[in-house]
């Protein structure tokens, strides 16, 4: 189904830096380099996975793609056309987001009908009130809810049901591209599987393209065709899902994969866990050279002196590491 010739989304050297006030009396200004020069393509119809620890810049990257934050520099293209500060509103219908927290992302004072209908109102996607209501009921059914629930408020629903409402809201304008920002991390494991299966079915039916953000590699693997691994504002490895699990090259990716639980006891016993020392460094003052070197079990002197180039090591397999 994927069209791997022409990208739907192209990202070129994207940077998202935030200025924050610090120091005595808040006089000093510091820069948080949340996304620091990232490039990749997402092809029409595919699910592109993005993984990394909290603080790696995943969510900021997803929101910057939709211009919820204006990029500091770099370029974003949608179907070959550059999205800019001036024209991004033209793409609002084509690009949507499913937020991580179904508790915080729905307005508690609005009914479900109004939450989903808001996007229809903004983009004037109906001609009569009946047509508006019919569209909302259709969207609720699509995500496994019913017409009677349209008049209820978010607090009357479970976490999984709220996330279904969030998905219906994202689908209301018939988008082509959806940023799924950790859409199942706040849900119980049993509910996670239901939501992932629903997202997959919708993708097949509606020919959707996803950027699927998560910190759990096992979840990303279920949906993603290709996966990028992010560390402290940079993509350190990018390849297809199978290669990442069986043949990861970057020490950071290897440590993430070693932490995935294995249900088979005999296999789990033989598995070596790679424990990383220390916390992820501050994006205000990242280490010189390779940002991962302060936690890397394989680091050498070159790692502190020179920033590793993000390059293609094998066909379709990119990595930023001096030692590969």
Residue 194 inside a domain? The answer is no
CATH code for position 310: 3.40.50.300
Residue 313 inside a domain? The answer is yes
Sheet holding 28-44, edge to edge: 28-44, 3-22, 73-78, 81-83
Residue 295 has pLDDT above 80, yes or no: yes
Residue 314 inside a domain? The answer is yes
86 plus 124 within the same structural domain: no
Instruction: State pLDDT tens for residues 12-30.
Output: 999 999 998 876 677 768 8
Question: Pick the residue with more confidence: 79 or 276?
Answer: 79
Q: Please give the radius of gyration of the chain, using alpha carbons only, rounded to the nearest integer.
A: 21
Instruction: State pLDDT tens for residues 277-294.
Output: 778 899 999 999 999 999
Q: How does the average pLDDT of the chain come out, rounded? A: 92
pLDDT at 25: 73
What percentage of the chain has pLDDT greater than the value 90? 78
Specify the DSSP class assigned to residue 298: T
Residue 287 inside a domain? The answer is yes
Q: What burial class does residue 245 get, using C-beta atoms within 10 Å of its C-beta: 0-12 exposed, 13-18 middle, 19+ buried?
A: middle
Answer with the one of 151, 174, 197 that is the final residue of a domain. Answer: 174
Instruction: State pLDDT tens for residues 62-103.
Output: 999 999 999 999 999 999 999 998 999 999 999 999 999 888
Sign of dihedral through CA atoms 205, 132, 195, 186?
positive
pTM of the model: 0.92
Count of Cβ atoms closer than 10 Å to residue 242 Cβ: 12
Q: What is the mean pLDDT of the segment spanning 235-255?
A: 95
77 plus 87 within the same structural domain: yes
Q: How many structural domains comprise the chain? A: 2
141 plus 72 within the same structural domain: no
**Are 7 and 77 spatial neighbours (Cβ–Cβ below 8 Å)?**
yes
181 plus 167 within the same structural domain: no
Q: What is the span of the domain harbouring residue 79?
A: 3-94+175-188+206-319
The dihedral over CA atoms of 263, 160, 199, 225, expressed in degrees to the nearest 10, equals -40
d(C-alpha 206, C-alpha 45), whole Å: 9
Residue 324 inside a domain? The answer is no
Specify the DSSP class assigned to residue 40: E
307 plus 182 within the same structural domain: yes
pLDDT at 103: 86
181 plus 301 within the same structural domain: yes
Residue 1 has pLDDT above 60, yes or no: no
d(C-alpha 169, C-alpha 139), whole Å: 8
21 plus 70 within the same structural domain: yes
Answer with the one of 124, 152, 174 that is the final residue of a domain. Answer: 174
Question: Pick the residue with more confidence: 262 or 1?
Answer: 262
pLDDT at 269: 59
285 plus 236 within the same structural domain: yes
d(C-alpha 185, C-alpha 181), whole Å: 9
**Are 181 and 104 spatial neighbours (Cβ–Cβ below 8 Å)?**
no
163 plus 179 within the same structural domain: no
78 plus 129 within the same structural domain: no
Lowest mean pLDDT among 221-225, 245-249, 257-261, 301-305: 257-261
Q: What is the mean pLDDT of the segment spanning 192-213?
A: 95
Residue 193 inside a domain? The answer is no
Residue 122 inside a domain? The answer is yes
Answer with the one of 152, 174, 196 that is the final residue of a domain. Answer: 174
294 plus 179 within the same structural domain: yes
The SS3 assignment for 243 reads helix
Residue 62 inside a domain? The answer is yes
234 plus 302 within the same structural domain: yes
Q: For 123-268, where are the E strands, in sequence order?
A: 177-181, 209-214, 226-231, 234-240
Considering only CA atoms, which of 68, 63, 174, 165 is closest in space to residue 113? 165
């Amino acid at each position: 189904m994927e069209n791997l010739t022409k990208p739907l989304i192209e990202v070129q050297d994207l940077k998202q830096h935030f200025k924050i006030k610090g120091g005595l009396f808040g006089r000093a200004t510091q820069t948080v380099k949340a996304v620091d020069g990232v490039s990749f393509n997402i092809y029409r119809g595919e699910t592109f996975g993005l993984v990394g620890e909290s603080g790696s810049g995943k969510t900021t990257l997803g929101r910057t793609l939709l211009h919820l934050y204006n990029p500091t520099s770099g370029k974003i293209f949608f179907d070959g056309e550059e999205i800019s500060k001036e024209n991004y509103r033209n793409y609002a219908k084509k690009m949507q987001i499913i937020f991580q927290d179904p508790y915080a992302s729905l307005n508690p004072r609005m009914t479900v009908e109004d939450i989903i209908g808001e996007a229809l109102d903004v983009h004037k996607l109906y001609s009569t009130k009946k047509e508006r209501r019919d569209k909302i009921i259709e969207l609720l059914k699509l995500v496994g809810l019913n017409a009677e629930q349209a008049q209820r408020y978010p607090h009357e629903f479970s976490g999984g049901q709220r996330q279904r409402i969030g998905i219906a809201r994202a689908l209301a304008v018939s988008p082509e591209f959806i940023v799924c920002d950790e859409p199942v991390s706040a849900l119980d494991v049993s509910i996670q599987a239901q939501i992932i299966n629903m997202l997959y079915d919708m993708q097949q039916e509606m020919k959707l393209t996803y950027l699927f953000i998560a910190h759990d590699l096992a979840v990303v693997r279920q949906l993603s065709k290709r996966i990028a691994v992010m560390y402290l504002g940079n993509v350190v490895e990018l390849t297809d899902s199978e290669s990442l699990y069986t043949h990861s090259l970057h020490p950071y990716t290897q440590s993430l994969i070693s932490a995935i639980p294995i249900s088979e006891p005999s296999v789990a016993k033989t598995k070596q866990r790679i424990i990383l020392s220390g916390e992820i460094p501050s994006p205000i003052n990242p280490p010189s050279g390779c940002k991962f070197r302060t936690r890397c079990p394989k680091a050498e002197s070159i790692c502190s002196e020179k920033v590793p180039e993000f390059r293609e090591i094998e066909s379709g397999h990119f990595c930023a590491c001096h030692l590969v």
